[in-house]
Amino acid sequence: MTTALTPPAGARPPVRHPDAPAPGEPLGSHYEHCFGCGGGQPHGLHLDARAEEGVAVTAEFTVTTDHQGAPGLAHGGVLATALDETLGSLGWLLRVIAVTGRLETDFVRPVPVGTALHLAAHVTAVHGRKIYATATGRIGGPEGPVAVRADALFIEVKVDHFIDNGRSEEIQAAMADPDTQRRARAFEVNP
């Protein structure tokens, strides 16, 4: 792990927000068209994340033929995306809007097409706007061998980050959604 991913002296342990989803509760998609968690992406990961105890989440996704790199094996970028999406969903438990600042991924073993990847992530520390977290992806079950792992640094941002930088058509469509809860979720967490 690089020094950029090591919490500095003075970093504090993470604190689960009192309004965070309860352990075992599904987190759902923050945005229908998100490649990682959205149902509106036919070839997306359709990652299914759940809140756990403390500031931790678990997730699962099944590698399909649309996710392969080498014949019959998951593409490394897709596996990194699954880790990033899982890590990003930790923001639901802190109730902050955060984006990935750095992601360092280790690929330990190949992940064949058809495999369910079991992901687990937790926040290790918070320092100002910086959120430090780690994740693993296992094959063969939640206790199976580690196939991928990552350490990450997320940066807390304001909703203006998305409004100022996103493509205006999507921003306007999300903001015009009559479902106020879905409209708020589109901007609450974006891994």
One-letter-per-residue 3-state SS of 127-158: ECCEEEEEEEEEECCCCCCEEEEEEEEEEECC
pLDDT of residue 154: 96
Residues near 35 by beta carbon (within 8 Å), at least 6 away in sequence: 41, 44, 45, 81
pLDDT, average across residues 56-64: 96
pLDDT of residue 28: 84
**pTM score of the predicted model:** 0.85
Highest mean pLDDT among 21-30, 36-45, 117-126: 117-126
- DSSP letter, residue 60: E
pLDDT tens profile 96-137: 989 999 999 999 999 999 999 999 999 999 999 999 999 999
Write out the two tokens for 168: 């205006």
Task: Characterize the bridge pairing of strands 130-139 and 146-156.
Answer: antiparallel
pLDDT band at 180 (very low <50, low <70, confident <90, very high): low
State percent of the chain over pLDDT 90. Answer: 68
pLDDT of residue 35: 79
Residue 87 and residue 21: Cα distance in Å, rounded? 16
- Bigger pLDDT: 23 vs 188: 23
pLDDT of residue 24: 96
Write out the two tokens for 82: 């699954």
pLDDT tens profile 154-176: 999 866 555 555 566 666 666 66
Alpha helices in the chain (DSSP H): 76-88, 91-94, 160-165, 168-176, 180-188
Residue 191 and residue 189: Cα distance in Å, rounded? 6
Residues near 86 by beta carbon (within 8 Å), at least 6 away in sequence: 47, 49, 57, 58, 59, 119, 120, 121, 135, 137
pLDDT of residue 166: 58
Residues near 168 by beta carbon (within 8 Å), at least 6 away in sequence: none
